[in-house]
Chains A and B, each alone.
Chain A
């Protein structure tokens, strides 16, 4: 595939959106994340790569406090979103998750119609004053999810009836509908075939214009194709973080080099 076309747009802004300091995560007695420091830029696609079990998904789930739903999980350290600590007791995790949307590994449309899937977030957050506004929000989200043309004639058929790739784009549209500032994606293409993957990657690149996107991926090609910044995790630590083209061409850490050349992982 053509790697370079996506990279040419470059990083458009240097604003720091998310900044993590000394983050430690424990699952019971397991020390899953060790002292991670990272600064994620706005309007950028940041990729987290690393072997299975290295903690990249765990760290991603810290950013919208999805780990709160796991009883045995404890998080230490600070994660700042626009300079505010998201683990501050004053912060309502429910509100936070509306601002930091998430797309999961397996497409998980609700057993509702396509329309209701997308309208779910706006409805619970009261984003629309009337039906017309809601229609508008749903259409905009589906367009941004690059799936509008495929579903506009069957908005009221069930979302579970779509193909895997369509379901995943529907889930992205659903996440976008609540107007988040950050989109977290946990291996969004791992359950998809190459064509659907290409469509979703294209979409991720477009989303960068409006959001800060953080994507966890197992595929180094995918990281190289869609991201501007890459972070390499290994055994719960952040080994190396920098511009994607630099990480893939001249990694500083020998572990990064081993991983991207296929010697570990």
Chain B
């Protein structure tokens, strides 16, 4: 029975459990809701919960564990001599799986009968051809040991699936009966359901956390791989970035880091003053009507995909800068793609981050603070400059740091706006590139995944992650410290 069918049955069981559980609980209270400990819906939910939750959990675990168990037992039964030179067990196992899947498809399409699939031998039929006729392409002819293993794999899988179906449905039914057995008026269904809700929330939260941990680990392992192939000192302190996929690359990080920091710096130099002034206007001077219109408009900027900003940099800002600073003008600039182009456009992208966060923070400064200053005969702008901004400063710094970590992690604008040349230069009209842009180009090339040229992307990613994590932690720390002041 396919998994989707099992899910449908479980769902039906849940609905049935809800209706029956509710009815049974009400019946045990003599039909009077007031005699129940909890509202009737809690009793229904309780039965549905017990019918479905353990069964779904079992199903999920089984689906993850079964392929692992079967693979290892099939692999163990593989004859030693069957693995040819230049190959490995994992490559052979993936062949086995491909053939097993192919047989499944063939049976589904009717090209093979179920018994045929189980008994066919490599000598008698050309498996590759027959599978090819139903659209399953295999890279090479199937040798007999692989075919045997594939058939064994299929046999184990179908047995395992049958056991799983029985176990899951059995558990669901047991849970259903157990839940129903508890349906008495004094049963505290409400408390149990509350616990289940809490468990759901914990589960959701832990998925987010575990994903982060998973990402960090995948970065760490690949970074370690990289440092085994390439000296860490050369990576961190090398001044040249010259990857060549034939080997013998120089993978110094500093030119990329410099590009990242330079572009971010220009972006912040644009975004911080403009964003901050906009925030001050919106929160202190704008009338409520003006604010209601202007603030969402400003936040539209934050909703524009960064690739669109990239196009804007490439097609509008770059040529505009060239016409001023290029050969016809001051002759500082060679082409439209430059640090300045990317920095300016990224600055525009960051304006809503700075302004929106700063606006919230300025609004959080208590009105009594403003009253106190105005009551002493200070003008509005004196109040803003000398009382409101100093009070909001820690929060504003936090907002700026968050914007900075956005700038450092930005990719598309850089790819389109700043060029691809990794170089160490002070001229903001030179093309440069950043860590993120190089991660993309290192991973999308044709390089062998195990080569240092590809693995360097993980080391770069890790570096970037550490930098932005550091910035975020500092920002959160500052913002939190600021919050304590008024609560």
Interface residues of A (CB under 8 A from B): 64, 66, 69, 71, 94-99, 101-102, 104, 106, 108-112, 120-121, 124-125, 160, 171, 174-175, 178
Contacts and interface: CB of A to CB of B under 8 A. Distances in A.
Contacts of B372: 104, 108-110, 171, 174
Contacts of B32: none
B90 interface: no
Interface stretch (B33-41, B335-343, B373-381, B434-442): B373-381
Contact of B375 (A102, A106, A111, A124): A102
A95 B376 CA distance: 9
A120 B373 contact: yes
Nearest to A107: B368
A96 B386 CA distance: 20
Q: Is the interface of B mostly helix, strand, loop or mixed?
A: helix
Contacts of B379: 94, 124
B375 A94 contact: no
Given A111-B485, A124-B386, A97 B391 contact: no
B375 A110 contact: no
A175 B368 contact: no
B382 A110 contact: no
Nearest to B376: A121
B366 interface: yes
Contacts of A102: 371, 375-376
A122 to B, nearest CB: 10
Contacts of B387: 110, 120
Given A71-B287, A108-B366, A110-B391, A97 B374 contact: yes
Contacts of B132: none
**Pairs of residues from A and B, 10 with the lowest C-beta to C-beta distance, nearest first:** A98-B377, A102-B375, A108-B368, A97-B377, A108-B372, A121-B376, A111-B391, A94-B379, A124-B378, A110-B387
Interface residues of B, number: 21
A64 B485 contact: no
B369 interface: yes
A125 B377 contact: yes
A99 B390 CA distance: 26
B374 A174 contact: no
21 contacts: A64-B375, A69-B374, A71-B287, A96-B377, A97-B376, A99-B377, A102-B375, A104-B372, A108-B368, A108-B372, A110-B369, A110-B386, A110-B387, A110-B390, A111-B369, A120-B373, A121-B378, A124-B382, A124-B386, A125-B377, A178-B376
Contacts of B386: 110, 120, 124
B373 A110 contact: yes
Given A106-B368, A111-B485, A124-B382, A98 B390 contact: no
